[in-house]
Amino acid sequence: MALKMVKGSIDRMFDKNLQDLVRGIRNHKEDEAKYISQCIDEIKQELKQDNIAVKANAVCKLTYLQMLGYDISWAAFNIIEVMSASKFTFKRIGYLAASQCFHEGTDVIMLTTNQIRKDLSSPSQYDTGVALTGLSCFVTPDLARDLANDIMTLMSHTKPYIRKKAVLIMYKVFLKYPESLRPAFPRLKEKLEDPDPGVQSAAVNVICELARRNPKNYLSLAPLFFKLMTSSTNNWVLIKIIKLFGALTPLEPRLGKKLIEPLTNLIHSTSAMSLLYECVNTVIAVLISLSSGMPNHSASIQLCVQKLRILIEDSDQNLKYLGLLAMSKILRTHPRSVQAHKDLVLQCLDDKDESIRLRALDLLRGMVSKKNLVEIVKKLMSHVDKAEGTTYRDELLTKIIDICSQCNYQHITNFQWYISVLVELTRLEGTRHGHLIAAQMLDVAIRVKAIRKFAVSQMSALLDSAHLVASSTQRNGICEVLYAAAWICGEFSEHLQEPRQTLEAMLRPKVTTLPGHIQAVYVQNVVKLYASILQQKEQAAEPEAAQDVTQLMVDRLPQFVQSADLEVQERASCILQLVKHIQKLQAKDVPVAEEVSALFAGELNPVAPKAQKKVPVPEGLDLDAWINEPPSDSESEDEKPKGIFHDEEQRHAKQRLPEADEEELARRREARKQEQANNPFYIKSSPSPQKRYQDMPGVEHIPVVQIDLSVPLKVPGMPMSDQYVKLEEERRHRQRLEKGRKKKKTKEKGKPRRHGSLHTESDEDITPAQQVDIVTEEMPENALPSDEDDKDPNDPYRALDIDLDRPLADSEKLPVQKHRNVDTSKCADKEDVPVVEKKVKKPKKKEKQHREKEREKTAKGKEKEGEDLDFWLSTTPLPAAAPALVRAWGAASNAIIAAPKEEGEGPRRGEQGDKEDSTQDPEKKSSKHKKKKHKKEKEEKSKDKKKSKKKLPSDEAAEPVENGALDEEPLPPMSSYCLLAENSYIRMTYDIQGSLQKDSQVTVSVVLENQSRSFLKNMELNVLDSLNTKLARPEGSSVHDGVPVPFQLPPGISSEAQFVFTIQSIVMAQKLKGTLSFIAKNDEGSTHEKLDFKLHFSCTSYLVTTPCYSDAFAKLLESGDLSMSSIKVDGISMSFQNLLAKICFHHHFSVVERVDSCASMYSRSIQGHHVCLLMKKGEKSVSVDGKCSDSTLLSNLLEELKATLAKC
């Protein structure tokens, strides 16, 4: 044996090792490939030997060859052999090779499962480590499923070295086997607080990766991460957490508010640039998420922009780059604060570093306004001339177009200038973006009617110039522009000054060198041009000239007929025949122009790119249903007797004949016309072709103002956009002078007013050079507002979108692979089997029960967690660290006490102010509520009777009292409706009702009362959903959509709308912010208005009045499942009966029993919590004892009771 070993190692001496291989390759520079193939042959020999050392050496060499690009998958089995070697040295070589070349398609990979499991449980930590590392690279769904449990146990290994690797690899396991996420998650969460910083960092890493893809499932971890953030000193961990918060804040704006302060502190204190940068980034994310709700964060924005400016001005190019990157994020929501740094950005455009220039370009996009667009584009154009590399030049080109065309050409005041810029851009050589310029030309020419004349003149110049045709070699090159030019000249040929000249230019022999699709457009548009020339000449009564043109066509068209491109060939031959026919007619002196131009009558309207997709599927149309029954396979068609077809045809014919009388046909035609008129996709024809040039039928309603061009139309040769800069300045100057003389008349024709106050005043002052009507793109009438077209159904991270707060079910336990005990027992004794099974079953049952209980426990725990988050978030911003929590609480309670005093005092620090706002709020509200009640009481009294249906539960509440013969004195009028919000237009009151049928829904009834003299319409209610409470929106709408109110309000009228909310946890009261937007219309015009409100869901609103018999009530109290709490309120003067009625009415209770001044009451929450009250009246005080299946709910309810009683 020993001899064999020595022999083996002596053999080995003469094998090449890795170093020899590398050396050999370096010495065979000329015939490397040959040498390597030799080596591979040697390796194959070595792999055939028994000695594992030789094999390992061979595999090691293969790994090197793999890096050089050689496929080594043929050695996969040998690699597995080496992986299973007992020595660490070889094992490591094997796993390295596997990690480099194994993938999901490697078929032998399934053989590794047991080997890996063995290594994972190896006593040597390095064996385990090497297996984990290797597995992380080639884990497959099967491996992940089989090994998930083993890896999970490793997460609590004694050695941190193993723990951190096991934690990290779990991410890969989750990706491949999403079912493992839920069972493994609790342990992963534990690892966030591991004593070893490496393990902690790994856990943070994994959760951050997970949360980045599906952030909403990880919101509940926010408090934990917050704690880590304020306590950790590891910058890696901090960066990851801060990045994670950046992903979470858009989902929960309250989180953002909480984060701002600690982040700002970090920004001020840290010296690590990477950390500073990530903090700034997350603050930006927070600000973006808050931008709708909280206006007052200008300080934070300023801080960010300031810090970024420092980064950008730094000499380190990396920081400069990142600064610009972050700046562009701010730009999206706070363009103003970035615009102040325009100088800096323009400076960066001159930077020698291309990455930085590109970033600066990005920023520029958001900085343009009407005022500076021309100037900025001028600067960019000068860069285009200077730019050396084509990539950067192309980027510049796309940016110029992007900047100009953004927001529907919002910033362009002079489209002549823009067309000139585009034409100038065509002189770029070697660009790949010819099609982009072409698309812009087409878009502008089609959508801006006023510019067509100018565009056509420019395009004909382009067609005339030779340089474009010459550059036709490159695909997607600049010659694409000719596509647009030809089309525009053809389609709008009536604007051409010299149609004949353009026609000749388009028929030049050189044109045949252009790409096929451009030639095709040429051919088609040549005819349009020809038609318009014919028209002209015939009107001018010049038949010779007309025949001349026809001759030209007949002469030149054959060059296209010979084209290799099918499309060109087909079109050309059709048209050639047509023209020849025309020639014959012309020879007979027949006027043809009208008929020829009828070929191209009608106008093309721009259609929105998504229009087709957005056509709603009409009701009752099932696109997947078979139109005809699918032919069944068994039935061959030959068997069918032919007679059937024959018969059917005849029957159809007979049925149809009598129907088709003249009148019916006419009616149908009319209907079809009507339909076509409403169909955006149907290209309407003008009633008569002659009229086409005078007035177009479909266009009358669009006010096309005759343009009074201040620039001469004929620009000889190539225009220079620069001259427009001067002209534009002059024009503006003139305008300013004019304005000084006389008051500006406000004139808004056809141009929609742009909402939003983004433009500076001076910006608005700049009136466009031409009155421009940008014809909007057409959309189907009731287009679906769906923008979720972009979601990729194959996203691997989608599978990980798993609710982690739901308790674990049995079926979700990770599969635990055991040795094949089952098999052996089966083989051993067949008679024993049933007995064994029975035995096994019994404990299972118990186990199940046990588990169920556990599950309940965890469920409760989870619920609590959910609350915790809400609670944690609602305690308003915390100063820096966790210990400060206590301090904050102290401050909050102080604030409550101090609140009344401080009313009317000057503004205090923002943070404190926030705190007070939230604590004061209920008080304010309740006092308002009280005032309003008096007003409402009277009307409610009359309404109450009518409204019995809507307010069923509250009426019920009154009933038991009355049934109990308690009406000794008249009850005061009561209303459960309280004020929601009010302004000069509208007043909203609301009431919340739950129902026992739907355990997580409540209905909010809102009474809207029009208080103005305007007509209110298009009312839409929207709320900002919280985690716990969500507005039920119609199917298909997103969380940000409002719910329309189904009625309109004439002046003085009120009406009620109902909205359904879904609620998860009901044990705490909640508040939702919301807005009602509407259009108020009166004689002077209509305005868009909105009204903000806060919906307060008290715990009471989750109670549903439920009658209860006294014996059931007693049983409930005896059961001992309920927790207990009590309150006492002094200074009550109201009679006990009124008191009871009030509580029954407002808090949805029913009286079970009443004895003198003592009553027991019962109610039930929508989620089935029992609430029992015992109310006793003393002389001037009332004490209430409550019992409830949820202690939090009870204490909250009692608080609310107390507030009600205190007012009595």
Task: By CB under 8 A, tell whether 210 contacts other proteins.
Answer: no
Task: By CB under 8 A, tell whether 19 contacts other proteins.
Answer: yes
Q: Could you say which DSSP state residue 179 is in?
A: G
Stretch that binds other proteins, among 83-91, 302-310, 340-348, 740-748 (CB under 8 A): 83-91
Task: By CB under 8 A, tell whether 863 contacts other proteins.
Answer: no
Task: By CB under 8 A, tell whether 444 contacts other proteins.
Answer: no
Closest listed residue to residue 81, CA positions, set 103, 100, 58: 58
Among 40, 62, 76, 168, interactor with other proteins by CB under 8 A: 168
Q: How far is the CB of 41 from other proteins (least distance, A)?
A: 19
Tokens encoding 405: 């065309």
Give the nearer residue to other proteins in terms of CB position, either 348 or 403: 348
Other C-beta atoms within 10 Å of 1196: how many?
20
Distance CA 1000, CA 998 (A): 6
Q: Could you say which DSSP state residue 800 is in?
A: G
CA of residue 161 relative to chain centroid, distance: 40
Give the nearer residue to other proteins in terms of CB position, either 137 or 704: 137
Q: What SS3 class is residue 809? A: coil
Task: By CB under 8 A, tell whether 13 contacts other proteins.
Answer: yes
E-assigned strand segments in 1064-1102: 1070-1082, 1085-1097
Give the nearer residue to other proteins in terms of CB position, either 169 or 958: 169
Among 137, 251, 799, 1127, interactor with other proteins by CB under 8 A: 137
Task: By CB under 8 A, tell whether 209 contacts other proteins.
Answer: yes
Q: Are strands 1181-1188 and 1015-1023 parallel, antiparallel or unpaired?
A: unpaired
Give the nearer residue to other proteins in terms of CB position, either 235 or 1082: 235
Q: How far is the CB of 72 from other proteins (least distance, A)?
A: 8
Whether residue 265 contacts residue 230, with contact meaning beta carbons closer than 8 Å, is answered with no
Q: How far is the CB of 96 from other proteins (least distance, A)?
A: 5
Task: By CB under 8 A, tell whether 157 contacts other proteins.
Answer: no
Task: By CB under 8 A, tell whether 316 contacts other proteins.
Answer: yes
Other C-beta atoms within 10 Å of 113: how many?
16
Interface mask (CB under 8 A) for other proteins, residues 743-772, using x and -?
------------------------------
Q: What SS3 class is residue 315? A: coil
Task: By CB under 8 A, tell whether 133 contacts other proteins.
Answer: yes
Q: How far is the CB of 278 from other proteins (least distance, A)?
A: 6
Stretch that binds other proteins, among 38-46, 351-359, 533-541, 723-731 (CB under 8 A): 351-359
Q: Which positions ≥6 away from 897 have C-beta within 8 Å?
A: none
Closest listed residue to residue 1028, CA positions, set 212, 215, 219: 219
Task: By CB under 8 A, tell whether 896 contacts other proteins.
Answer: no
Among 113, 115, 122, 136, interactor with other proteins by CB under 8 A: 136
Among 48, 103, 744, 848, interactor with other proteins by CB under 8 A: 103
Q: How far is the CB of 396 from other proteins (least distance, A)?
A: 16
Q: Which positions ≥6 away from 91 have C-beta within 8 Å?
A: 82, 83, 84, 85, 119, 127, 130
Stretch that binds other proteins, among 74-82, 196-204, 1057-1065, 1074-1082 (CB under 8 A): 196-204
Positions 352 through 411 that interact with other proteins (CB under 8 A): 352-356, 358
Q: How far is the CB of 101 from other proteins (least distance, A)?
A: 8
Print burial letters for 458-476: b (CB count within 10 Å at least 16), e (below 16): bbbbbbbbeebbebbeeee
Among 10, 644, 657, 828, interactor with other proteins by CB under 8 A: 10
Give the nearer residue to other proteins in terms of CB position, either 89 or 1038: 89
Task: By CB under 8 A, tell whether 304 contacts other proteins.
Answer: no
Distance CA 219, CA 904 (A): 38
Among 318, 390, 547, 1055, interactor with other proteins by CB under 8 A: 318
Which residue pairs from 798-801 have beta carbons closer than 8 angstroms and sit at least 24 positions apart in sequence? Answer: 799/178, 800/174, 800/175, 800/178, 800/181, 800/210, 800/213, 800/214, 801/213, 801/214, 801/217
Among 4, 6, 292, 1013, interactor with other proteins by CB under 8 A: 6
Among 187, 189, 212, 855, interactor with other proteins by CB under 8 A: 212
Distance CA 339, CA 319 (A): 20
Positions 1011 through 1030 that interact with other proteins (CB under 8 A): none
Give the nearer residue to other proteins in terms of CB position, either 5 or 784: 5
CA of residue 13 relative to chain centroid, distance: 63
Distance CA 111, CA 76 (A): 11
Task: By CB under 8 A, tell whether 272 contacts other proteins.
Answer: yes
Dihedral angle sign, alpha carbons of residues 74, 80, 83, 87: negative
Q: Could you say which DSSP state residue 753 is in?
A: P
Give the nearer residue to other proteins in terms of CB position, either 26 or 845: 26
Among 116, 120, 132, 1066, interactor with other proteins by CB under 8 A: 132
Task: By CB under 8 A, tell whether 270 contacts other proteins.
Answer: yes
Distance CA 28, CA 15 (A): 18
Stretch that binds other proteins, among 2-10, 471-479, 813-821, 894-902 (CB under 8 A): 2-10
Interface mask (CB under 8 A) for other proteins, residues 223-242, using x and -?
-----------xxx--x---
Distance CA 778, CA 614 (A): 11
Task: By CB under 8 A, tell whether 7 contacts other proteins.
Answer: no
Give the nearer residue to other proteins in terms of CB position, either 16 or 929: 16
CA dihedral 472, 475, 478, 479 (to 10 degrees): 40
Give the nearer residue to other proteins in terms of CB position, either 154 or 520: 154
Task: By CB under 8 A, tell whether 314 contacts other proteins.
Answer: yes
Whether residue 477 contacts residue 432, with contact meaning beta carbons closer than 8 Å, is answered with yes
Print burial letters for 913-937: b (CB count within 10 Å at least 16), e (below 16): eebbeebbebeebeeebeebbeebe
- DSSP per residue over 923-988, as a string? HHHHHHHHHHHHHHHHHHHHHHHHTTTTTHHHHHHHHHHHHTT-TTSPPPP----EEEEE-SSEEE
Q: How far is the CB of 135 from other proteins (least distance, A)?
A: 8
Task: By CB under 8 A, tell whether 819 contacts other proteins.
Answer: no
Other C-beta atoms within 10 Å of 229: how many?
21
Site size toward other proteins, by CB under 8 A: 82
Q: How far is the CB of 153 from other proteins (least distance, A)?
A: 18
Among 271, 628, 794, 997, interactor with other proteins by CB under 8 A: 271
Stretch that binds other proteins, among 90-98, 147-155, 454-462, 1164-1172 (CB under 8 A): 90-98
Task: By CB under 8 A, tell whether 20 contacts other proteins.
Answer: yes
Q: How far is the CB of 74 from other proteins (least distance, A)?
A: 12
Q: How far is the CB of 353 from other proteins (least distance, A)?
A: 4
Q: How far is the CB of 219 from other proteins (least distance, A)?
A: 18
Distance CA 164, CA 194 (A): 10
Cα distances (angstroms) measured from residue 167 to each of 136, 199, 277, 401, 807: 11, 7, 28, 49, 22
Q: How far is the CB of 372 from other proteins (least distance, A)?
A: 27
Task: By CB under 8 A, tell whether 1161 contacts other proteins.
Answer: no
Positions 51 through 80 that interact with other proteins (CB under 8 A): 53, 60, 63-64, 66-71
Task: By CB under 8 A, tell whether 682 contacts other proteins.
Answer: no
Whether residue 568 contacts residue 512, with contact meaning beta carbons closer than 8 Å, is answered with no
Task: By CB under 8 A, tell whether 277 contacts other proteins.
Answer: yes
Positions 170 through 189 that interact with other proteins (CB under 8 A): 171-172
